[in-house]
Chain A
Amino acid sequence: MNKLSTILLLTGALALSACNNPDRFGAGGAGAAGAGGAGGITAGGLGDPGDPNSIAYFNQTIGDRVLFAVDQSTLTPEGQATLAQQAVWLNQHPTNTAIIEGHADEQGTREYNLALGDRRANAVKAYLISQGVSAARLQTVSYGKERPLAVCSDEACYSQNRRAVTVVGVGAGV
């Protein structure tokens, strides 16, 4: 990809993330993803978010997560736009693998929310595959309602918790 298109993408991603998820840069996000222990990545070593080859760039500049409506696993247009950029990055970095974490808000029973989180993670996986990312590089895991990102009990938090997060691993061999 030439330099111009990269810059355009970057600008678009920032605009998207600003309206999607203002808390995305907060410590809670990294903590929640790390607490699951699925990705095996640590807070360090993600690099500079200004470096397009860094995982920090993927997480913050592109945006590592998409959000869902209540009880839905259908991707929103905003979510599809984020995932399209995730796919571009993953296609440009073929040695990186990823685990997609699906989450639900607390308004649901535990078992159902596990299944719903699985649906969400797989909706993301399917989209990334449709954009050319090899299925062998992608795994999914559902946390149901076990790992909320925001802890209040109203829609302001619920909307952030209904999410699927693409956790990029360093190198191959997830």
Chain B
Amino acid sequence: MSNVPSHLKYAKSHEWVESLSDDTYRIGISDHAQDLLGDMVFVELPEVGQAVSVQNECAVVESVKAASDVYSPLSGEVVAINEALVDNPDLVNRDAYGDGWLFTVKASDLSELAGLMSADDYIELRSDDDH
């Protein structure tokens, strides 16, 4: 089954958050999410410099099965996007937590981190999802 790395934090809407430094965070969708969606065919990313706010949609991943909004787990400014996804959207399927990352945010409100889940909590949520 899909894996849930313990060093990441997770949002209910199936995004993961990785701390890169004190205030920059890399964001992607979980292995579980990519598995539900199936083969990715297009990824629409925010622009560098764009302001994003917590729980607001800021990207779209579209698979053979469905288009799905990606919600930013943190407020802040987009400082990097994964341009490799434009030509190789299947990186999200193959390596959801690595080469399939979506964008990096410079967070403006670190208190929002408290609203995210640990890997264990996410696993529990996911198993509720399945039943």
Same complex for A and B? Answer no
